[in-house]
Structure 1
Amino acid sequence: MKTIFITLALLGLTMGISAQNQQIDSLEGTKVVLDEVFVQALRVTKASPVTFSNVKKEDIAPRNLGQDIPVLLNFLPGVVTTSDAGAGVGYTGIRVRGSDATRVNVTINGIPYNDSESHGTFWVNMPDFASSTESLQLQRGVGTSTNGAGAFGASLNLLTDAVSGEAYGQISSSIGSFKTLRNNIKFSTGLLNDHMEVSGRLSRISSDGYIDRASSDLESYFLQAAYKDDNTLIKALIFGGKEITYQSWNGIDAETLKVDRAFNPSGKYTDEDGNTRFYDNEIDNYKQDHAQLLWNEKISDQWSTNIAFHFTHGRGYFEQYKEDEDFQDYGLEPLTITNLEVNTTDLIRRRWLDNDFYGAVFSANYAKNKLDLIIGGGYNNYEGDHFGEIIWARFASNSEIRDRYYDDSSKKSDFNMYTKANYDLTDKLSLFGDLQYRTVGYSANGEETGPVDDTFNFFNPKAGLVYDLNANNNFYFSYAVAHREPNRDDYKNGTPKPEKLNDYELGWRYVSQNFQLNLNTYYMHYKDQLVLTGDIDDTGDYLRANVDKSYRAGLELDANIRISEKFAVRPNVAVSTNKIEDFILVRNGATQNLGDTNIAFSPNIVAGNAIAYTPFKNLGLSLLSKYVGEQYLSNTDTEASKLASYFTNDFNVSYEIVPRKVLKSIVLSALVNNIFNIQYVSNGYTYLDNFSDPNNSVEVQGYFPQAGTNFLLGATLRF
């Protein structure tokens, strides 16, 4: 079955959301709409030598029933997604070309979204954000210069809702497996006096999750006020969300996977009578609010400018029941009870994060004749407090209410400037250049990180050529350099080095009325790459370590084939090799050269499949499939650390009813995930356990199983 699927993919009989979903017949593309000026400095077109995919809200609308943005992007080339709770609600993750979410640069309206310290993207903090997203562009590889940390696997930029010319109201609801429920309301005033618009959204999502107790209780909001005239577009936005999720980031071992796939060890403890129990409030509780002010001004036919100011405030904690904790780890003094010294206790702790992120980004665009020039950059600051509290202890020792057993702070500044230019050398050949300077300062005083006071200065040049053979074919080649600073977790595990990436991209695009094709190959060579070791910490975050030299090389194909007015297929397949060169493993104090080994979490083949059928105008049917090849959970190439391949299929149907009165439309949607009930694991971890015998380490694995057959049903009423 797997061989057949891969063969079909390579023959072009599979589908994924491609960069050319629009029905166009030349490489000129489509006109940039007004709202897109806010991301114009970061996005690329077919005139640039960058590998990318575009996704519009219409592309994901039939499946937008409450699952997170990474899950909605699952069918893009080279993308692998996972869900802690097993069903796409709650904590979700994305990897592109084998690079995890900490290495995928994410911006919203050109403003960095990745957490400044961890570099992660926590979509759970903004549930249902897809319902306020106008479009997305995923650039694979280094891509073009962007704001925030360098893109080491990809960059993803999101554009929020466009200004609506007409007033509307919308109510959406969906229900599904595991008691999943999503409700949202949206509205727009339309343009008032041809210039002003106010729009917004309120959402709530709840789910029990596939994994035991992996519940999610999520709320979010989005409010936008906009002003526009012939030369000006100004938007003021506030948006954010609150999440309470029961922890499910610990995974399960191989034996438990065989007998109880949905088991969740989080919150497990033994009471005084020796009974196994689960703490009912083993939760993650976090709230995040964003404010953005965006201003675009068209100065002349050649010049336009963008400036954006932003502020984000996040605060919250995760709560844990811990058994037999040492007093000294919490700054507590030993107790003497009936002549016995007591120096351990059961306790409940909260580990807090309270942070602010603020700054400004800007760009200016000049376009005339053969030259398209962009100058831009940004300055951003982050201030974060990390602290811990004991809210209950069996033996409290000398603790006082609201004592902090640790109290750390950190600061980070990030400044970058870039200049990008496309210049037409001839009618068919254009030259692309992109120079970026970025300086990052990071300081921290945590017990886990130790004192940190580092400054990094990065120069990131990029260049390429685009050759338009004719109106339907173009070819491109590019070379790009990117650098990245270590994140907070890297400092916990040693003295990390910054990373450097040299990325070479070669591609061909073909576009006609009924057939669009993207074919590209890449070679990404890293110096001091911080690769995932496969191990995780006590909050489910993956640990990383520098390796001297490593590379990723691959071939990616995606297409859109319209066979008839009613039937279409859109293939994508990514084949790659991902290696650490001369990997040195340190085990039990001894070093071992394992030679060239596979990089963890980097499958050699990822392919998507969907067949779309539209029997009549208002009805759409899609069969979507995903194949992810086997991958390793560590960098040692051991059989024990190998994660099996999997092949899943989803079925999606959407039907629109257009009433004659009151309502503008009613859209009914259904999504059945994993229709063949495949028992698969999309993620995991591994570590060396040498506590029982320091001379004979044992490789231990943990797994994150995903749900079998499950469904979501939804209805959207627009008036």
Structure 2
Amino acid sequence: MNRTILPALLLLAAGAVNLPAVAGSPVSDGSDSLNLVLDQVEIVANRATARTPVAFTNVGKRELLRNNDGRDMTYLLQMTPSVTTTSDAGAAVGYTSMRIRGTDGSRINVSANGVPINNPESHNVYWVNMPDLASSVGDVQIQRGAGTSANGAGAFGASVNMVTDAPSEDPYAELSGAYGAYATNRQTLRVGSGLLGERWSFDARLSHVGSAGYIERASSELWSYFGQAAYSSYDTNLRLLAFGGKERTYMAWDYASKEQMEEFGRRYNPCGEYTADDGERAYYPDQYDNYIQHHLQLLLNRRLGDSFRLNATLHLTCDDGYYDQYKTRRTLEEYGLSPYTGADGETVTKSDLIRLKNNENLFGGGQVTLNYLHGRWNAVGGAAFTAFRGHHFGQVKWVRNYVGPIDPLQRYYDNYGRKQDANFYVRANYQIDRSLSAYADLQYRHIHYTIRGASDNWDWNTGAPAALDVDRRWNFFNPKLGLNYTRGSHRAFASWAVAQKEPTRDNFTDGDPAHRPESERLNDFEAGYTFNHRVFTLGVNLYYMLYRDQLVATGELSDTGNPISVNVPDSYRAGIELQAALRPCRWFDWAFNMTLSRNRIKDFTEYIYEDEWTNPITIDRGDTPIAFSPDLIFSNSFNFSFLGADASLQSRYVGEQYMNNARSEEARLDSYFVTDLHLGYTFRHLHGIRELRIGLSVYNLFNEKYFSNGYAGAGYSVVDGEKVIYRYAGYAAQAPTHVMATATLRF
């Protein structure tokens, strides 16, 4: 598809501040790969250390590789505090997502080497576009709450900061594979040159992941790559990175009602279903999402004397794709088609059709930071600028029994979104004495966002696609202040942070002038304590996240009939996160974390429409739970390692939650408890093979039948003059007991 390539822009500032590596989370996984120094990787500015007053957890390379059998990154992070995950296909491959402290992916800032990964319009990260990324990631840091200042989408629940693999000093080759239930499979080849001439190195990876999915027809065919060229000297590190993926995934995001599951089975998938000419149920074979995404990064890290470090980054992300979708009984007028006279002489205004919804994006920018580390001061100043262009258009591919001219793949909507984002910040940590330090982080962010063109929503008032004419600017000032106390095995901190977030694309395209979305504001108060000993670790973190004008679904519809999110004045998340770890001997350790929380919207009003379209009524629900926010989450892991053998028994409990904000029983997801068993053995130095590892994982060991996601809706009808409310819901069924086997050869 044609594009206009935006110039990559290098401005002042964005990037690097870390003390010499400290295993930084209240409960660290103990991986040696967490000990990053300047000679090994470029340090990115949004990383926290043990002296940063935020709640965070590090997941190291060893932990990622141990559990990597092709499942998405979201599932490799699911044992960290306050995390819940879901999979549309039910088997952790394909479309997956995670929530942290109940906040969805559009409110979680994700970066790779400090470069934003979130789509600038939707604010989401589509992990399916980056399959097997874990094979090229050195470590991940999850900061819960507002965290440190970051580039890209605002962190309203957490940030996920990934650092890709550092160049290897030694040459290597690695071949790994996995196969298991539902024809899930992974093949990965990794090679590296090692240091050439003591300065240059090259690394590459090629991966394939496939799955038939637990849900019917929810297949995935995923390809990905990673390439890196690096130059290193005493005072300079320069890396050119390219990574990306191609995916073809059969839709499974419509989910199924419990009534449908009772009739057709738990694996039933309504996507692509239609009634054939013979009256039988049939499925459209090409109901696929097709997408390609490429990331390019140029990273420079340079020492400027003993006290200064300069980091500069250029980055470019380009992606495009479409999904192919069969729709039943659609109004022809909405697709730019005229009604026609059928064979029976009746005027046909609705018919089955196939549509293509296309998206092309180009996102690029530059960032640079200057870090000062001397005496009692550790300070950084930085800035970043990004520019984005998104093109959205829809095409009609086919109409059942249509009489009249249809242009090949005629467009029925076409619009462009453009966004510029400038981000400036200064951050400093001052060591008051040997134990106590003060922290300040001041960020200014300017956003300019426009949308022009015709929407995919039909405006019945004008008899045309809804016109899009959005031109909005925001200026955010986000201060963060805190104190940190570290002495011996003890660490304590307290902090206050402000985060502000602009609305997403959908908040504009699904809205109307009467529902103008405004920005959201978070005041995040945190306090924590950690006791960290070689044998025993205990951590507790308290948080109170107070939202102003949070955008939530109330049941309201726009004038084009689309569900919209509305700014509600007051809502909050309050909780306590507990973590503990015990390592009484070298061959056994135990890790545990629990989150107890209360997540509420104050004075919530629900809107319900007659026949889900007209004459709304309102119901005052009082204080209600925020959707998809369980009050209790805990994870438990028993880990064994002895003479090359290792085993891990991992359990997760997620309390009940609601799929709407009205606390309706019909929209409830029941609690679930899932246990996985991982077994492995590593052979070393076998006839020229450096290492051979074989593994077996049994997922959902006790065969829990559970749902991890879904949707809910409501309407009312008038019966004998009385308004009768009805509700409905769809559920994301997850796979029962299933097995995956893995093997890895390293040379």
Q: What letter matches 1:365 in structure 2? A: N
2:499 maps to which residue? Answer: 482
Q: Is the 8 A contact 1:20 1:559 kept in 2?
A: no
Whether 1:221 aligns to 2:225 is: yes
1:9 maps to which residue? Answer: none
| 1:677 to partner: Cα distance | 0.6
1:547 maps to which residue? Answer: 568
| 1:513 to partner: Cα distance | 1.2
Correspondence list, 1:164-313, <5 A: 164-259=168-263, 260-313=265-318
2:126 maps to which residue? Answer: 122
Residue 646 of structure 1 is aligned with which of 662, 669, 672? 672
- What is the CA–CA distance in structure 2 between the aligned matches of 1:712 and 1:532, rounded to whole Å? 38
| 1:322 to partner: Cα distance | 1.7
2:469 maps to which residue? Answer: 451
Correspondence list, 1:59-78, <5 A: 59-78=63-82
- What is the CA–CA distance in structure 2 between the aligned matches of 1:120 and 1:444, rounded to whole Å? 18
- What is the CA–CA distance in structure 1 between the aligned matches of 2:329 and 2:608, rounded to whole Å? 29
**Structure 1 residues 195, 23: closer, same or farther in 2, change over 3 A?**
closer
Whether 1:597 aligns to 2:621 is: no
| 1:533 to partner: Cα distance | 5.4
Q: What letter matches 2:705 in structure 1? A: Q
1:20 maps to which residue? Answer: 28
Q: Is the 8 A contact 2:554 2:605 kept in 1?
A: no
| 1:535 to partner: Cα distance | 10
1:715 maps to which residue? Answer: 743
- What is the CA–CA distance in structure 2 between the aligned matches of 1:351 and 1:21, rounded to whole Å? 43
SS in 2 for 1:451: strand
Correspondence list, 1:354-433, <5 A: 354-394=360-400, 395=402, 397-433=404-440
- What is the CA–CA distance in structure 2 between the aligned matches of 1:306 and 1:656, rounded to whole Å? 39
| 1:534 to partner: Cα distance | 8.6
- What is the CA–CA distance in structure 2 between the aligned matches of 1:570 and 1:131, rounded to whole Å? 24
| 1:197 to partner: Cα distance | 0.5
Correspondence list, 1:74-153, <5 A: 74-153=78-157
- Encode CA deviations 1:13-61: one digit per residue, 9 max, x unaligned: xxxx97412289xxxx95635344332x110111010000001110121
- Encode CA deviations 1:542-594: one digit per residue, 9 max, x unaligned: 96332110000000011221022211101100100001111122334333322
Where structure 2 has 5 or more consecutive residues not aligned to the other structure, the ranges are 1-24, 458-465, 610-615
> Relative contact order (C-alpha < 8 Å, sep 6+): which is higher?
1
Q: What letter matches 1:488 in structure 2? A: R
Question: Identical aligned pairs, as a percentage?
Answer: 41
- Higher mean alpha-carbon deviation, 575-584 vs 135-144, is at 575-584
- What is the CA–CA distance in structure 2 between the aligned matches of 1:35 and 1:542, rounded to whole Å? 49
SS in 2 for 1:582: strand
SS in 1 for 2:148: coil
Whether 1:608 aligns to 2:626 is: no
- What is the CA–CA distance in structure 1 between the aligned matches of 2:31 and 2:477, rounded to whole Å? 39
1:571 maps to which residue? Answer: 592
- Encode CA deviations 1:397-456: one digit per residue, 9 max, x unaligned: 332113211111111111100111000112221100000000111111242473211111
- Encode CA deviations 1:105-148: one digit per residue, 9 max, x unaligned: 00011000001111111000010000000000000000000000
2:12 maps to which residue? Answer: none
- What is the CA–CA distance in structure 1 between the aligned matches of 2:38 and 2:371, rounded to whole Å? 15
TM-score normalised over the length of structure 2: 0.90
- What is the CA–CA distance in structure 1 between the aligned matches of 2:681 and 2:197, rounded to whole Å? 35
- What is the CA–CA distance in structure 2 between the aligned matches of 1:519 and 1:421, rounded to whole Å? 25
Root mean square deviation, CA, Å: 2.0
- What is the CA–CA distance in structure 2 between the aligned matches of 1:603 and 1:125, rounded to whole Å? 28
- What is the CA–CA distance in structure 2 between the aligned matches of 1:337 and 1:657, rounded to whole Å? 71
- What is the CA–CA distance in structure 2 between the aligned matches of 1:432 and 1:475, rounded to whole Å? 13
1:155 maps to which residue? Answer: 159
- Encode CA deviations 1:653-709: one digit per residue, 9 max, x unaligned: 121101343111001111110011110111111011347879433111110010000
- What is the CA–CA distance in structure 2 between the aligned matches of 1:610 and 1:18, rounded to whole Å? 16
Q: Is the 8 A contact 2:555 2:608 kept in 1?
A: no
Q: Is the 8 A contact 1:50 1:505 kept in 2?
A: yes
Whether 1:677 aligns to 2:703 is: yes
| 1:642 to partner: Cα distance | 1.6
SS in 2 for 1:545: strand
Q: Is the 8 A contact 1:175 1:713 kept in 2?
A: yes
- Encode CA deviations 1:456-475: one digit per residue, 9 max, x unaligned: 1100000000122x211021
Where structure 1 has 5 or more consecutive residues not aligned to the other structure, the ranges are 1-16
Q: Is the 8 A contact 1:54 1:138 kept in 2?
A: yes
| 1:290 to partner: Cα distance | 1.0
**Structure 1 residues 542, 508: closer, same or farther in 2, change over 3 A?**
farther
1:7 maps to which residue? Answer: none
Residue 626 of structure 1 is aligned with which of 641, 649, 652? 652
1:436 maps to which residue? Answer: 443
Whether 1:702 aligns to 2:740 is: no
**Structure 1 residues 344, 692: closer, same or farther in 2, change over 3 A?**
farther
- What is the CA–CA distance in structure 2 between the aligned matches of 1:443 and 1:534, rounded to whole Å? 26
2:19 maps to which residue? Answer: none
Q: What letter matches 1:587 in structure 2? A: I
Runs of at least 4 residues of structure 1 off by over 6 A?
534-537, 691-694
SS in 2 for 1:201: strand
| 1:324 to partner: Cα distance | 2.6
Q: Is the 8 A contact 2:556 2:608 kept in 1?
A: no
- What is the CA–CA distance in structure 2 between the aligned matches of 1:305 and 1:691, rounded to whole Å? 65
- What is the CA–CA distance in structure 2 between the aligned matches of 1:535 and 1:631, rounded to whole Å? 21
SS in 1 for 2:603: coil
